[in-house]
Amino acid sequence: MLTLLVLVVGMWSARASHLVNSVLTRQLIILILLCGQYTGDHQQLRPSPAVYRLARDFNFDISLFERMLKNRMHCAVLKVQHRMRPEVAGLIVPSIYPELTNHSSVLQYETIRGMLKSVFFITHNHPEEEVLSVQF
C-alpha cells in the first residue's frame, strides 16, 4: 500500500515520538502539520519523556519543532512577543532571542501601582530561617 500524504491536524499535546512511530514510513511522501505548535518557539521547555532511557538513547526530549529547525526545514519562528513587559523582554534579547520584538499591545501596559520599576534584582546576605514546625 502506497501512502502519499498524511495530514495531521491539532497535535497540541502529542509527543514527537508518537508521530514518528505512527506515520513516518518509507511510503510517506508528504507530511502536513496543521497546528500552532509548529509555528512558535523552539526555545520553550523541552518535552519530558516518562522514561529517562528513551530521552537519553533516542533523544525523545527534543520537540518535533526543534527537530524540524535543526534539520533546516521551513518553520515560522517566534519573532514578536505579546506577553512580557518590554523591560522583561529586554533581559532575553538579544542573548536568547536575537530577533524578538515587542508587539504594540505590550507597550500599552500600565505601570504597576506602588512600584518604581517593572524589573527588580534583589541581593541579600541574610540566610533563610528553617521552620521546624507550623502551628495553625
Per-state percent for the chain, helix, strand, coil, to nearest 5: 25, 15, 60
136 assigned to some structural domain: no
Phi, psi of 64 (to 5 degrees): -65, -35
pLDDT top residue among 116 and 9? 116
**Nearest CA among 104, 18, 122 for reference residue 64:** 18
Q: Is 118 helix (H, G, I), strand (E, B) or coil?
A: coil
Most confident of 30-44, 61-75, 95-109: 95-109
131 assigned to some structural domain: no
β 5-9/30-34 pair status: parallel
Residue 9's pLDDT band (boundaries 50, 70, 90)?
low
36 assigned to some structural domain: yes
Number of domains in the chain: 1
122 assigned to some structural domain: no
pLDDT of residue 35: 56
The one-letter amino acid at 132: L
Question: Beta-carbon neighbour count of residue 52 at 10 Å?
Answer: 11
Going by the DSSP 8-state scheme, the letter that residue 29 receives in this structure is -
> Distance between CA atoms of 76 and 98, rounded to whole angstroms?
15
**Nearest CA among 98, 95, 92 for reference residue 119:** 92
Residue 135, all three cell numbers: 502551628
23 assigned to some structural domain: yes
Residue 11's pLDDT band (boundaries 50, 70, 90)?
low
121 assigned to some structural domain: no
Residue 55, all three cell numbers: 530521552
Q: For 15-36, write each residue's pLDDT tens digit.
A: 666 676 677 777 777 766 665 5
